[in-house]
Amino acid sequence: MANANQAEVKTAKNWGSAFNSFLDRRAIIMLFLGFSAGIPILLIFSSLSLWLGEAGIEKSAVTMFSWAALGYSFKFVWAPLIDEIPVPFLTKTLGRRRAWLLIAQCLIMVAICIMAMSNPAMGQSQLIQMAVGAVLLGFASATQDIVIDAYRIELAPTEMQTVLASTYNAGYRIGMIIAGAGALFVAAAYGTAKGNYIYEAWQKTYWIMAAVMIIGVITTLIVAEPKVERIYKSYKKSDYLRLVFVFFCAVVSFVLGFIYIGKALTMITVDDPFLSFMLAAVRFVGSALIAFVVGFSLVKLGAVNRDMAKETWVSPIADFFKRYGVKLALVLLLLIGFFRISDIVAGVISNVFYQDMNFSKEQIAEAVKIYGVIFTLIGGFLGGLLSQRFNIMKVMFIGAILASSTNLIFIALVKSGAPTSQVTVSVAGQQYRVDTDEVGFWKVAVPTKVLEQDRRIVTSVSYEDQSYQVEHDLPYVVGNAKADKAIGRVQIHFLPLTRDGVLQPNELEQSIVVEGQILGLTEAEKNSKNTVQVLLGEETADTSYDAKIDGQGTFTVAIPAEKFIQAELKSLKASYILNDYEFMTLTGYEIDETAPTIQSNQFNNLIDPMPMIDLTQSQYTISGKVVKEYSKFWLYMAIVMDNLASGLAGAAFIAFLSSLTSVSFTAVQYAIFSSLMTLTPKLIGGYSGTIVTNIGYPNFFLMTTLIGIPILILVVWVAKLLKSHERQQIENSY
């Protein structure tokens, strides 16, 4: 009995110690630093993809913005520099780790502000400015990750690392909720939505996210620098500067190579997504090869201290190959590079997919950013628990099965929508019938001769059982966009206000989106004035609104519903003054507050605005989207299972990566492994939008499931090789 009591006391003490370790000052520090690290990534991925989607940017361009986060995949390149190079003044004041951490956090805030000041709907120049901000954000955020990883390793002994990793991960996920769900809720609160794009809403949202980063800055300033017994190499200041110079030259050569190889490859026209990816791979590998040759040549020519260059970049890699041998090391790197491919590739386009499935930002925020993150944490806990009980390779095998197979649930989500009839498109007495794709998109080519005879397109679609039918019409203009004088080419008109120009009770619960087109403007004319004045009712200071013109000539403004109710004159006027000449158009509306709520929010047929019809063209494509309701049950099921699987697989994989690092090169080698882990998936993910456009969502999710099968074989192969390697080491020790 005494022994039993002693055992109980010991167990209680152990549980108490385990609980108290999470209240340790160092654990709390990692919670706040994790929060700071979790903010930037979704501002590059999901939140940014929704912003670009609302701004009317094509899916292929949206998913290519994921390449801005490639800094996470290449952080091993400059990780040694951050490990070795002191920052003037700041290193002496704050210490090596905190100095670099403060610089990274300040750069993150600058990058977010650059993105906030970019309106992608305003054309190529603004899109490029946003891309610059996104790339800087990816680089600065990856730098922050490098420093935090090194800080965590140096902050506490090995037995404390699991606690620090747990609190860091919790803080990271909280940061992701703020930058994901929080950003979406804030943007929605300012009124922006699909079809009601408001740039100022996203601008304010990103400014708020930049301000949130102050939490990380304060944490960096008040925490202490880790005390470690580390031997720093005594190199001259000129050696550090030369090392940075070589790195800068290699980066510049990579960028120039990427630009000029890209220009050369534009001469090759391909429509196949796989061939497009292969050309992109050639462009990327060629650029990397140029950068390597430039860097290697500069080292050979003595532009940098050779011993310093070897210790910075060569020794960590040589150590890994020496410990595991060439064959096993290469197979391990292959597994590291492809293990997460199924869930990362599918994840790049996930928010665009939810948008295409007609879910609102609030629904996406609740399902994906809250429940998704919660179940990722639960999956991470399960992964850690199973890793303690079973062999890590078995847990990775289970995680790989779940991570790929759960993508099949998204196919069920696509199929959950009620079937619809063909879309009937009527122009000038001619009718065209067209099928929709899996999520409702449709398009049909119409001869210009037919469009010349009318000025309005009418579409109709119904559920397959004919239980409900909707009609929608869209005006368009015919003109000469190449005329010398603006009077002969510029035309302005309103697009339909709501579905039928009659405001009903459910539509009066929110802001009303007023849309129109001004076509025929030159780029110079757009740059000189990029707003249309919209007047609601009688002209007063409170009834005049500025509507910004996007790159396609569409102007949009959201007006509170009560303004429409209060207006005595139920009319709208759009005015654009150019060279003292006023281009204007008028339309009216009605209010029916007694009408019953209809299904228009759940079932509708939207038509994309048409360009000015040029009679010298042979035909034009009319396109649109049938909006229908999809199952929320399958949405939550897909998100819960996908994130649970992702969390489990991710936790096991991080434990696996940590076991591969050497004590002498922990930070650098972990940076290499974690970079390689996301490199290939992100490269392929950049083309996920193009792939979906060509094969559709169901085939895309089936593809991401099937590419997980070779990963299972690779996990089994690595497990066998590691067992053989371990036996060989034991035999050699005797």
> Distance between terminal CA atoms of the chain?
44
Tens-digit pLDDT profile for residues 499-511: 667 787 777 777 7
Among 58-67, 451-460, 471-480, 583-592, the range scoring the smallest mean pLDDT is: 58-67
**How far apart, in whole angstroms, are the C-alpha atoms of residue 368 and residue 372?**
5
Q: Which residues contact 176 (CB under 8 A, 6 or more apart)?
A: 38, 39, 41, 42, 369, 373
How many Å is the Cα radius of gyration of the chain?
29
Residue at a domain's end among 258, 285, 304: 304
CATH of the domain at 541: 2.60.40.10
Residue listed under structure tokens 């002191």: 86
- Those residues with Cβ within 8 angstroms of residue 326's Cβ, 6 or more apart along the chain or in another chain: none
604 and 707 part of one domain: no
**Other beta carbons within 10 Å of 625:** 20
- 345 pLDDT band, cuts 50/70/90, is confident
Confidence band of 449 (pLDDT split at 50, 70, 90): very high
Cβ of 446: how many Cβ atoms within 10 Å? 19
Top-confidence residue, 7 or 716: 716
Query: C-alpha distances in angstroms, 510 versus 51, 85, 196, 243, 542?
Result: 20, 55, 11, 58, 18
**What pLDDT is recorded for position 397?**
92
In sequence order, the β-bridge partners of residue 23 are none
Query: Are 300 and 289 members of one domain?
Result: yes
Scored b (16 or more CB within 10 A) or e, 514-536 reads bbbbbbbbeeebbeeebebbbbb
Question: Per residue in 586-602, pLDDT tens?
Answer: 998 888 777 555 444 56
Q: Helix, strand or coil for residue 190?
A: coil
Number of domains in the chain: 3
Instruction: Give the total residue count for the chain.
Output: 734
- Segment holding 288, helix H or strand E: helix 273-300
pLDDT tens sequence across 274-316: 676 677 778 878 888 998 899 889 888 888 888 777 877 788 8
Residue 597 within a domain: yes
Q: According to the model, what pLDDT value does residue 508 have?
A: 75
Whether 331 shows a pLDDT value over 60: the answer reads yes
Write out the DSSP string of 649-675.
Answer: HHHHHHHHHHHH--GGGHHHHHHHHHH
Mean pLDDT, rounded, for 694-702: 87
pLDDT digit string (tens) for 58-117? 655 655 565 666 667 677 777 877 877 788 888 888 988 899 999 999 999 999 999 999
Q: Do 585 and 727 belong to one domain?
A: no
Q: Which of 49, 631, 640 is nearest to 351 (CA)?
A: 49
What's the pLDDT at 163? 67
Rounded to an integer, the average pLDDT of 537-556 is 82
394-433 pLDDT, tens digit per residue, is 888 998 999 889 999 999 998 888 888 899 999 998 999 9
Residue with the bigger pLDDT between 208 and 164: it is: 208
**Final residue before a domain boundary, out of 602, 627, 652:** 627
Q: How far is CA 98 from the centre of its chain?
A: 28
Q: Which helix (H) or strand (E) holds 519?
A: strand 512-519
Q: Is the pLDDT of residue 20 over 80?
A: no
Last residue of a domain, one of 627, 651, 670: 627
Q: Which pLDDT score is estimated for 363?
A: 79
Residue type, position 708, single letter: G
Helices (H) and strands (E) in the chain, counts: 32, 16
At position 102, the amino acid (one-letter code) is L
pLDDT score at 620:
93
Query: Is 235 within 8 Å of 310 (Cβ atoms)?
Result: no
Residue 157 lies in a domain: yes
CATH number assigned to the domain comprising residue 356: 1.20.1250.20
| 161 has a pLDDT exceeding 80 | no
Predicted local confidence at residue 17, as pLDDT: 60
Please check whether residues 465 and 598 belong to one and the same domain: yes
The answer to whether 162 and 170 are in contact (CB under 8 A) is: no
In a domain, 480, yes or no: yes
258-282: average pLDDT? 74
15 within some domain: no
- CA neighbours closer than 13 Å in the CB half-sphere of residue 179: 27
Taking the C-alpha atoms of residue 700 and residue 84, their distance in angstroms, rounded to an integer, is 44
Q: Quick check: is 206 in a domain?
A: yes
Distance CA 293, CA 600 (A): 60
Exposed e or buried b per residue across 115-129, where buried means at least 16 C-beta atoms within 10 angstroms of its C-beta: bbebbbbbbeebbeb
Other beta carbons within 10 angstroms of residue 395's beta carbon come to 25
Task: Give the per-residue pLDDT at 8.
Answer: 36
Domain of 647 in residue numbering reads as 24-235+305-414+631-733
How would you write 410-478 as a 3-class SS string?
HHHHHHCCCCECCEEEEECCEEEEECCCCCCEEEEEEEHHHHHCCCEEEEEEEECCCCCEEEEEEECCE
Whether residues 270 and 371 share a domain: the answer is no
Q: Determine the distance from the C-alpha atom of residue 424 to the mean position of all C-alpha atoms in its chain, rounded to a whole number.
A: 35
Mean pLDDT of the chain, nearest integer: 82
Beta bridge partners of 420: 463
- Report pTM: 0.70
pLDDT band at 352 (very low <50, low <70, confident <90, very high): confident
List beta partners, residue 430. 427
Per-residue pLDDT at 231: 56
Dihedral through CA 133, CA 139, CA 140, CA 142, nearest 10? 140
Please, are residues 98 and 148 in contact by the beta-carbon 8 Å criterion?
no
Say what the pLDDT of residue 6 is: 36
Position 332 pLDDT exceeds 80: yes
- Please indicate, yes or no, whether residues 618 and 639 belong to a single structural domain of this protein: no
The token pair that represents 138 in the structure block: 């990816």
Task: Judge if 289 and 375 occupy the same domain.
Answer: no
Three-class DSSP category at 205: helix
User: Which 8-state DSSP code applies to residue 508?
Assistant: G
Q: Exposed, middle or buried, 637 (CB in 10 Å: 0-12/13-18/19+)?
A: middle
Predicted pLDDT of residue 388:
58
Both 293 and 311 in a single domain?
A: no
Is 231 found in the same domain as 257?
no
Of 32-36, 43-47, 147-151, 330-334, the one with minimum mean pLDDT is 43-47
* Cα 345 to Cα 39, 137, 276, 705, 707, distances in angstroms: 21, 21, 16, 10, 10
Which of 639, 649, 44, 111 minimizes the C-alpha distance to 340? Answer: 649
Choose the weakest-confidence range: 194-198, 439-443, 587-591, 722-726. Answer: 194-198
Task: Indicate if the pLDDT at residue 30 is higher than 50.
Answer: yes
Higher pLDDT, 109 or 16: 109
Distance from C-alpha of 49 to C-alpha of 187, rounded to nearest angstrom: 13
d(CA 330, CA 418): 49
Do 94 and 172 belong to one domain? yes
Residue 596 in domain: yes
Same domain, 534 and 609: yes
Q: Cβ–Cβ contacts within 10 Å for residue 551, how many?
A: 19
- How many CB atoms are located within 10 Å of the residue 222 CB? 10
* Residue 16 covered by a domain: no
Using an 8 Å Cβ cutoff, are 204 and 190 in contact?
A: yes
Q: Which residue has the higher pLDDT, 95 or 655?
A: 95
Q: Are 539 and 649 in a shared domain?
A: no
pLDDT for position 125? 81
Quote the tokens at residue 701: 């999710």
If phi > 0 it is left, if psi is from -120 to 50 it is alpha, else beta; for residue 580 that is left
More confident residue, 361 or 355: 355
pLDDT of residue 709: 92
Beta strands in 13-130 (DSSP E): none
Instruction: Determine, yes or no, domain membership for 14.
Output: no
Give residue 442's identity as a one-letter amino acid code. W
